[in-house]
Chain A
Amino acid sequence: MAFLGDSTFTYLKKALDIAVLRQDVIASNIANADTPNYKAKHIPFKDVLDIADSELKLKKTDPKHIDDSSGGMDYLIKPDKNDYITKNDKNNVKLDKELTDLAKNTLLVNALTAFEKYKFNEYRDVISASKNI
Chain B
Amino acid sequence: MDIKDITLKPIDSSEIKKSETKKAEGDSFAEILKKSLDEVNKLQNRADESIKDIAAGKMDNIQDAVMAIEKADISLKLLTEIRNKAIEAYKEVMRMQV
Contact = CB atoms under 8 A, between A and B. Distances in A.
Interface residues of B, number: 23
Contacts of B80: 125-126, 129
B-side interface mostly: helix
Contacts of A119: 51
Given A118-B73, A125-B80, A129-B80, A48 B57 contact: yes
Interface string B58-84: 100010010001001100110011011
A124 B53 CA distance: 24
Interface of A: 6-8, 11-12, 14-15, 44-50, 107, 111-112, 115, 118-119, 121-122, 125-126, 129-130, 132-133
Interface of B: 44, 48, 51-52, 54-58, 62, 65, 69, 72-73, 76-77, 80-81, 83-84, 87-88, 91
